[in-house]
Amino acid sequence: MSALAEPRRHVQPAEEKPGCVCPPGVRGLRVVGYLPGGGVAGLDCTSPLLVVCRVCDRRLVWACRAHRASRCVPCSDRYRRLLVRIVESRSATAHRGHGSFLTLTAPGEREHARWVPGRPGGGGPCGCRVGDLAEWNAAAGQAWNRLRLSLSRVCRFEYFRVVEVQKRGALHLHVLVWSSDPLRRDQVQRIALAAGFGCQVDLTPLSPQQHARYAAKYATKATDQREDVPWAVDVVNTRTGEITRGSAPARYRTWSSSRQWGLTVRDVRAANRAAMENTRLTRAAGAASTDQLAPPAAAFGSAPSAGEASPGDVPAAVESVWG
């Protein structure tokens, strides 16, 4: 899911956001841009958005929902917690299968020995090698699709994949997998090499809560690292029509998941809204019941004047009603 780089200039139904007095179904809300001056009291967001209703001309302020910490730390933290709930949702289901935590790396840039778990020095020369890291990063999504297709022929599985950016700028994939059959490291390594990944493949038992927090941390961190990743693109000369290879800011997705993994972003946000509404209704009901239980002031005489009894002198029976 990509970070919010520019204000979204689209129209949303008035009933989807609070604060607009238009009737339900009237589409008039428009995001104008970031609010000048930064944060607003009562809103936990450092880069709020200014929203205007074109029907009633009311002005609203929304949280920016940015994924990047460089844009807004509070919204980025909320996004990370949202991802934790999504990642953990699959672990809470029945018949989840065998859990594995898979790490895939880019091929090395120099000659190296084949990586073999538990064998110092590796297993002889390895043929996996990357010539242009920018080209490999741009094609990493295709390599992942090939690996998914090959692995689906071995067993049924569901996955949640996140991107980590290595120091050299290569994309590093971490995948949480629930599979119908146990995965073998040598089998996955063979599939990964054929798909275009490097020989260093790590496969460990899945720890749902620990790996959910780990994946959410790197997915959020990767939204701020696109400028550090070499990325090759086609560049079209608008005058001659000639197409050449050039560079551009990286366009990778920081995370993705299979369709049957579990909760979606929409599900989590809907649950959050429902929980906030339930909390509001509970507090309102509690306040209403307190008002009904509180006796009228006339029952205890007029309000005390100077020198008369203070609230601390009220009898214990009366204090319990007020509490």
Would residue 240 count as lying in a domain? yes
Give yes or no: residues 129 and 213 share one domain. yes
Would residue 40 count as lying in a domain? yes
Residue with tokens 């809204």: 273
Q: How far apart are CA 154 and CA 136, in angstroms?
A: 26
Give yes or no: residues 29 and 121 share one domain. no
Would residue 273 count as lying in a domain? no
Here the CATH number for the domain that contains residue 135 is 3.30.70.1910
> According to the model, what pLDDT value does residue 26 have?
63
Which 3 state secondary structure label does DSSP give 5?
coil
Would residue 211 count as lying in a domain? yes
Give yes or no: residues 112 and 39 share one domain. no
Q: Which of 268, 296, 315 is the last residue of a domain?
A: 268
> According to the model, what pLDDT value does residue 311 have?
39
Please list, in sequence order, all residues whose beta carbon lies within 8 angstroms of the beta carbon of residue 93, skipping any fewer than 6 positions away.
262
Yes or no: say if 27 and 13 are a contact pair by the CB < 8 Å rule. Answer: yes
Would residue 318 count as lying in a domain? no
Residue with tokens 């990325």: 231
Give yes or no: residues 133 and 251 share one domain. yes
Q: Exposure of 121 by Cβ count < 10 A (0-12 exposed, 13-18 middle, 19+ buried)?
A: exposed
Where in the sequence is the domain holding 26, given as residue range(s)?
11-62
> According to the model, what pLDDT value does residue 307 have?
42
> According to the model, what pLDDT value does residue 24 have?
64
For the chain, the domain total comes to 2
Would residue 80 count as lying in a domain? no
Give yes or no: residues 130 and 261 share one domain. yes
CA angle 224, 174, 228 (to 5 degrees): 30
**Per-residue model confidence as pLDDT tens for the chain (323 residues):** 433 333 333 333 333 445 566 776 666 788 889 988 777 888 899 999 998 888 888 888 889 999 999 999 999 999 999 999 999 998 877 678 899 999 999 998 888 778 777 675 667 778 788 888 999 999 999 999 999 999 999 999 999 999 999 999 999 999 999 999 999 998 999 999 999 999 889 999 999 999 999 999 999 999 999 999 999 999 998 889 899 999 888 999 999 999 989 999 999 999 988 998 899 899 888 888 776 766 655 444 444 444 443 433 333 332 222 22
> According to the model, what pLDDT value does residue 41 have?
83
Q: What is the CA radius of gyration of the chain?
A: 28
Q: Which of 237, 268, 299 is the last residue of a domain?
A: 268
Residue with tokens 């002031």: 297
> According to the model, what pLDDT value does residue 42 have?
83
Buried b (16+ CB within 10 A) or exposed e, 39-55: eeeeeebbbbbbbbbee
Give yes or no: residues 40 and 103 share one domain. no
Give yes or no: residues 19 and 146 share one domain. no
Would residue 291 count as lying in a domain? no
Give yes or no: residues 118 and 256 share one domain. yes
Would residue 234 count as lying in a domain? yes
Give yes or no: residues 37 and 160 share one domain. no
Give yes or no: residues 57 and 101 share one domain. no
Give yes or no: residues 132 and 20 share one domain. no
Give yes or no: residues 15 and 156 share one domain. no
Q: Which of 268, 291, 318 is the last residue of a domain?
A: 268
> According to the model, what pLDDT value does residue 161 have?
97
> According to the model, what pLDDT value does residue 305 have?
43
